[in-house]
Structures are given as structure tokens and as C-alpha cells.
Amino acid sequence: MTAQLISGNEIAKQIREELRQEIADLKAKHNLVPGLATVLVGEDPASQVYVGQKEKTSKDLGVYSERHDLPANTSQEDLIKSINKLNKNPKIHGILVQLPLPKHLNEEEVLYAIDPKKDVDGFHPVNVGKLMIGEPDYLPCTPHGIQQLLIRSGVQIEGAEVVVVGRSNIVGKPIANILLQKKKGANATVTVCHTGTRDLAFHTRRADILIVAAGKAKAITADMVKEGVVVIDVGVNQIGTTKDGKRILAGDVDFDAVKEKAKAITPVPGGVGPMTITMLMMNTVRAAKLAAGLA
């Protein structure tokens, strides 16, 4: 068996076309333009790339975009003031503070300062709580992207044994909560594994759907999965560089070996990654509709 490739690039493209039409309709019918503000503190190269990608995607889809670049020595007080201004700005429906922040800043306090109605990352405790009880305004971007990859690839989620490797607040915990909800595109039996799990392979071999966000290159090998498993690999690890200096990337799953046993699998890169910004745009559109009483 050679696995079907679940292409995040293709599915993200499909969703963006749907969003482009929805955004055009909101503008034409309601004079409503979804607005997204990004806040970047410092000059971290990777963060600059991510923010640039979000700006480019916003412009491509017709989302109003503001970028707020602050110096690395910005104080906690000044950063909170900037966020409060965006909270009050009616043109801005979504606020994203790019992480990580410089070490002198309190990340938790900054994220909590964002109006939950504008928290399109889904990190505010109000939105986390709404997710837990099954009534979210927004689903966190990467976990929502994973769910969409499964749904749009025709994977049977309801009743499936889902094993999540990793318990981060960004991926592991929220995707577990999303997939165990008694809802369409969910209703699975979910096991969460982590560094304290005694026999990881025992659990991963039971999985109909295996979601791996362990942060370790090729941590899941072929002997740890069963025939016909669907694998979503969230990991992105640099394992070397080419002669011309380009990064060589690998996921948390040994792709070449596992794809021979899997029914379907995401590549790295080109799997989960393209979905995250797309879900951010989806959340921004939803935030605009909620603010206008259209959702």
C-alpha cells in the first residue's frame, strides 16, 4: 500500500477560493470588509516571514490588513496600549500578536489583553473555554486546519480511534477537544499521548487517525502504526541544509517508511502548514460577520 497524499496546498487553495467569494459578497451586499491587524515585536526573521505571508494572503483575498511593527525593547505597558487601540478600532475584526515575544514581555498577559471577539488565533481563555463546551466562536487555526484536511479528504472521523501525540495548548489539546465533540466532522474516540506516556507505540498502533505534534523529527516510525492508518504530521524540523544553503525539513513522522503502510498521509512541507494561515483568514471573516450581526 502506498498512501494517498493529503495536500494542504490544494485544500488550502480550495478554501481560499471560497473565502474570496464570501469576502466579495460581504463587501457588495453589506459594505463590510473584514479587517486583520498583525502585531510584531522585534525583528525575528521567522516571525517577519510569517507576518509577511499573512499580509500577502490578506491582500490576495480582499481582507483589510494593518501591520504594526514595534521595536524589540517595547515595554509591556506600550504593547498593551497598542492592543487596546486595536480592540477599539471598528475597522479591525481580528488581532494577531506574532509569537514568540521578546523574553522581557509577559506573553500570557499580552494574549489576555486581546478582545476575545477579535482573538482570531483562538488563544484567549474565553475562546478556549467556549471550545471546551462545544460552543466556539473561533477554532484555533492549526487544529481547525487539521480537521478540514480530514473532512475534505473524505476521512471518516465519527467513531474513529484518534491518537494525538503532543499536548501543547496550540495543537494537541485543542485538536483533541475539537474531534471529541458530538458534532459533524468529529465524534471520535480520542487518546492524547505525551512525554509521560509509558508505551507510545501501544497507543499509536491502535490509531485509525494519528495526529503527530511531538516536535521531534521522525519520532513515529513504520513499526508504530497499523496498516491503513491516516496520518496528519504537524511537525516541521530542520534536519540539515543543502549545498546552496536551503533548509532540509522533516516532519515528526518517518514519511518514507510510514507512507507504505498508511492509507493517507500529509507531507512536510505542504501538509498542515498551508492550512494555518487559511484558517486565520476564515476566522477573520467570521469575526467580521459576528461584529455585524451576520453570524
- Give the type of residue at 292: A
> Which residues are registered as beta bridge partners of 94?
36
Q: How far apart are CA 216 and CA 270, in angstroms?
A: 18
**Given the residues 117, 118, 119, 121, the one annotated as active site:** 121
Q: Name the strands in the sheet holding 94-97, side by side, starting at the edge strand that comes first in the sequence.
A: 64-70, 35-41, 94-97
Whether 54 is catalytic is yes
Q: Which of 224, 225, 212 is nearest to 252 (CA)?
A: 212
From the candidates 54, 118, 173, 261, which is the catalytic residue?
54
Verify whether residue 121 is a known catalytic residue.
yes
Q: What is the three-state SS of 93-109?
A: CEEEECCCCCCCCCHHH
Calculate ∠ Cα 125-87-21, nearest 5°: 90
> Which three-class secondary structure string do you get for 39-67?
EEECCCHHHHHHHHHHHHHHHHHCCEEEE
Catalytic-residue membership of 98: yes
- CA 153 to each of CA 19, 234, 271, 278: distance values in angstroms, whole numbers, following the listed order: 19, 16, 12, 17
Contact of 289 with 117, CB cutoff 8 Å:
no
* Sign of the four-CA dihedral 205, 203, 134, 160: positive
Dihedrals φ, ψ of 171, to 5°?
-125, -60
Determine the Cα–Cα distance for residues 107 and 136; give it in Å rounded to an integer: 23
The residues assigned a catalytic role are 54, 98, 121
